[in-house]
Structure 1
Amino acid sequence: MVLRRRFRFNMHIWKSVSKSWYICQVWNFSIISVLALTISNILLTIRLLHKPDCPNVVDTKIAPVAITRFPAPLHPDIVISSSDCGGGGDDNTIDEFAELGNHSHRLVFDRLNLLRGRWDASRQYKYFDFAAVGNRYDDLTKKYKVCLATQSSLERLYSLVSVASHWTGPISLAVYVAGDDELYLLQLYLSYLQNCFASIRDAVTIHLAYPIKRAPKTVRKFLKSDYSNFVCDQPELTLKKLMKFRTTETIKWRLKNAYPQNHLRNLARKGCQNDYIFLTDIDIIPSINFTDNLDKFLRKSQCSSQSKCAYVVPTYEIDNRAKFPQTKADLLRLSKRGLARPFHHKVFIYNQYATNFSRWESNVGSPQDDTTISHNVTNFEFLYEPFYVSTDSVPPHDERFLGYGFTRNTQVYEMFVAGYQFHVLTPIFTCHWGLQNKKSRPAWRERQNNLNRKQFEVFKKEIYARYHRDPLQMLQPKKAPEIKPKVKP
């Protein structure tokens, strides 16, 4: 009986001790948990207090606007960045993206702030100068006396590959986008071009423009991207795939609103820092060794802002079945076979007629193929619009002319009235792919041309008032048709 009582007493004590130990363990764990949560809250509060303001940031939980179907067919691993600021330049994000290629580079527009920029004169368009700068743009600017200035919308940007492969100097490119979807697609495509082509990554500096009526609201930044379906030797096909993800609203808006060519030409031109500028359209491709040959010529040239001269580079259309001509002799052989002809020869012959291509073709040039002046333009006609090299002192392109028609030729006409002399260079040349014809022109181009023709009636009067010259007699009143009296039989 005594043993039984002792056993029960001992068990009671053991249970009391065990219960007390358990309570102590729970209490200690609770204290540790409270301390951990307190420290975590303090650290999070400090981080929030020091977090920078992030305008134009996309929430990481929100899918890309207007292209929610985009990741499935082309980029299954694209995600929106979880970095603090979508436009801020997170080094980790940049490094992860750079692993996609053999060369590291920043994301295109990774520091673009849409709350900044500058207006055009009419406050209809917003500009962002040097939105993305080529890795060697400054060095190339110092190396060469000439800069190539060009402009493009998103759908024609694939031509930049051919241009940058032939032009070895700095390139100032103005790009026009409308809406969040086009800006996002432009980011993707330019990042792809920079990843695949060293010439674009090094030489091309990009200036951005958009219409205020369809202004992008966000700058997106991806953390990862899968280029498995983006083949580097298919830039045109890649862009065509991307263009399918524009919204219907953007497509309709672009059809109704004219493309501001002259705004972009002025923007690209002012981005060049060199003594001379070669102003072109994005689909005009320089000949082989163009930049070095032109640079060598310009270093000996006497042309300056005071002497008022411009150097015309002949432009040819090339049949899509032909290979790009390596030399002037190759180009002339293509011309004899009907696979090349002067630019716009069938569509609008006055566009390049004053260049006098027959005289240029008969000039065989020097044995060393040094760039020289073939001849001067002596039969200047209105509507002449050559691609030329000159200083930035030439008159700007008038931004009243929107879309197509009277955009380039009005600027060249003002140069002529101001007293500029045009010299045609040889043996360098430029090419445009495809033999053009009038049937391929959409109807909206003629409508834009008619609107610009009305603008020209005011423009030519202003030119006369500015220079007090009318060498082409543009202001001469048209003679009324002579009415002969009827003779009675």
Structure 2
Amino acid sequence: MYSIVKIIQGRCRPWNISIAALICLTVYNVMLTVKLMYTQECPKQQRITIQKIPQVVYQKCNKNTQYNQDDPFSTLDLELGRWDDQHKYKLFDNIVVGDKYVVLNELFKTCLATQGSLDKLPSLIEVANNWNGPISLATFAASEEELNALLFYILYLKKCNEKINDKVSFHLALTKERRPKKYTIDEDRLREVKCDSPVEVLQHLTKNLKKGSNQWRAKLPYPQNHLRNLARKNCQAGFVFLTDVDIIPSSNMAESLDVFLGEAECKEGEKKCAYVVPTYEIDERVAFPHNKTDLVRMANKGLARPFHHKVFIYNQYATNFTRWQSTKDETNDVHISHPVTNFEFLYEPFYIAPDIVPPHDERFIGYGYTRNSQVYEMYVAGYEFLVLSPIFTCHWGLQVKRSRPTWREHQNNLNRKHFEAFKKEVFARYNRDPLNFMNTRKN
């Protein structure tokens, strides 16, 4: 009997060892998994400094890291973003989103897509006061110093203006040449700065940006078309109203457009048309016009005139402001005043359309051939331009033609050369040449 027990124990010993080894391996795997889930180390950390006393550094990790809630730009990782097609600019979507931006895109049929550099951002205050729908704004920084000033000013606007805080989603473009590796936010200064002087705050922020290495605009063109595409593509509503940030819409335009677009023939993709909103420049000594009647009265007194009328008349000429001003509207509801019948190259209206229109070609950088090349492609593609009434937009200041800096003319000449290739591509794409460009050597 004793020998039989010995035999059984001898045969069971390897089985017991296997069970023990399996248990040890399982415990090791569990411990390793827990360690990987809760480790605080971040490979290739990006350092984002928030200036405080004492100074605090937030390190951005990947999925399992808890971001500090005090970081207002928790989604902005300068090592990420997306490149443009030419690999010249890094683009960042929705670096900070308005509290009600998503909801407003669902409530309103039109999203206002706009772009502007840091020095133009105070205009956003008046835009947000007049436009009650969602606003998608793209902006640009050419250096680390400008990025710091830009992000500070965005936070200042959100802190001091409830409408901007609710409505606006901000997007960012950075240049590859001088792309920042980090950004700094002075929170103590942000708490102390007063809300009643946005222009003075901006002047203080930018007083050193036009000196030394920050004097970039003469050498580095401003990527207008990149920003326009960036703002357009981050709108979530069915229609997009594409503007520049210093173009101020008339009051309650978003609501009145909702009614009009609900009955308009140009539904999303059903018909190729774009709704033109007349744009005027107004004397800085007057109050913003309450309605079309006020605006026409100002124009008759020389206190308002079509946008760029003295600087570059072809910019808006085809809108036919004379007809728009002389037509008496039978209703205050938004309606079509008249079609554009005298389209000509260099026309660049501010318009409303579904965001299926051709993109803004990003080979045009800086000044010249930026908006008008896109509108020209729309015309070749068969879009009809229809002028709306009684809504309008305004730009502050009666502009006069001054001698332009040499760098601006240089940019215009470069873009003129790009247009030679662009017009051939447009002809090949649509097999149409309504302005007879292909029979002329230069335009």
TM-score under structure 1 normalisation?
0.78
Q: CA deviation at 1:290?
A: 1.1
Describe the SS at the equivalent of 2:425. Answer: helix
Which residue is 2:19 aligned to? none
Q: CA deviation at 1:459?
A: 1.1
Matches within 5 A, 1:241-260: 241-246=204-209, 248-260=211-223
Contact 2:282 2:396 (C-alpha < 8 Å) held by counterparts:
yes
Which residue is 1:149 aligned to? 113
Which residue is 2:169 aligned to? 205
Which residue is 2:23 aligned to? none
Describe the SS at the equivalent of 2:439. Answer: coil
Q: CA deviation at 1:79?
A: 5.2
Q: Output the CA distance in 2 between the equivalents of 1:398 and 1:223.
A: 39
Q: Output the CA distance in 1 between the equivalents of 2:112 and 2:400.
A: 28
2:68 to 90, 100, 118: 90
Q: CA deviation at 1:454?
A: 1.3
Matches within 5 A, 1:110-149: 110-149=74-113
Matched, 1:55 2:45: yes
Q: CA deviation at 1:385?
A: 0.3
Matched, 1:397 2:371: no
2:183 to 219, 224, 234: 219
Which residue is 2:243 aligned to? 280
Contact 2:111 2:136 (C-alpha < 8 Å) held by counterparts:
yes
| Structure label with greater radius of gyration | 1
Please tell me the residue identity of whatever aligns with 2:246: D
TM-aligned CA distance change 1:51 to 1:477, over 3 Å: closer
Which residue is 2:5 aligned to? none
Q: Deviations over 1:341-368 (max 9, x none)?
A: 000000111110000001101122234x
TM-score under structure 2 normalisation?
0.86
Describe the SS at the equivalent of 1:379. Answer: coil
Which residue is 2:412 aligned to? 449
CA RMSD in angstroms comes to 2.1
Q: Deviations over 1:54-76 (max 9, x none)?
A: 8221568xxx8xxxxxxxxxxxx
1:336 to 300, 304, 308: 300
TM-aligned CA distance change 1:259 to 1:347, over 3 Å: same
Describe the SS at the equivalent of 2:341. Answer: coil
Q: CA deviation at 1:405?
A: 0.8
Which residue is 2:126 aligned to? 162
Moved more, 247-256 or 119-128: 247-256
Identity %: 53
Describe the SS at the equivalent of 1:459. Answer: helix
TM-aligned CA distance change 1:285 to 1:440, over 3 Å: farther
Unaligned residue ranges in structure 1 (runs of 5+): 1-45, 65-77, 95-105, 480-489
Contact 1:80 1:223 (C-alpha < 8 Å) held by counterparts:
no
Which residue is 1:18 aligned to? none
Q: CA deviation at 1:114?
A: 1.0
State the number of aligned residues. Answer: 400
TM-aligned CA distance change 1:332 to 1:221, over 3 Å: same
Contact 2:47 2:57 (C-alpha < 8 Å) held by counterparts:
no
TM-aligned CA distance change 1:187 to 1:225, over 3 Å: same
Matched, 1:312 2:276: yes
Q: Deviations over 1:297-321 (max 9, x none)?
A: 1111121313101000000001111
2:330 to 349, 362, 366: 366
Matches within 5 A, 1:346-361: 346-361=310-325
Q: Output the CA distance in 2 between the equivalents of 1:59 and 1:436.
A: 42
Contact 1:81 1:222 (C-alpha < 8 Å) held by counterparts:
no
Which residue is 2:224 aligned to? 261
Describe the SS at the equivalent of 2:407. Answer: helix
Q: Deviations over 1:412-470 (max 9, x none)?
A: 00000110000000000000011111116434322211211111111111111111111
TM-aligned CA distance change 1:123 to 1:297, over 3 Å: same
Q: CA deviation at 1:225?
A: 3.2
Which residue is 2:252 aligned to? 289
Contact 1:347 1:438 (C-alpha < 8 Å) held by counterparts:
yes
Contact 2:48 2:58 (C-alpha < 8 Å) held by counterparts:
no
Contact 2:49 2:185 (C-alpha < 8 Å) held by counterparts:
no
Structure number with the higher strand fraction is: 2
Q: Output the CA distance in 2 between the equivalents of 1:286 and 1:364.
A: 21
Unaligned residue ranges in structure 2 (runs of 5+): 1-34
Please tell me the residue identity of whatever aligns with 1:90: N
Q: Output the CA distance in 2 between the equivalents of 1:146 and 1:410.
A: 23
Contact 1:81 1:221 (C-alpha < 8 Å) held by counterparts:
no
Please tell me the residue identity of whatever aligns with 1:176: F
Please tell me the residue identity of whatever aligns with 1:356: N
Which residue is 2:31 aligned to? none
Which residue is 1:387 aligned to? 350
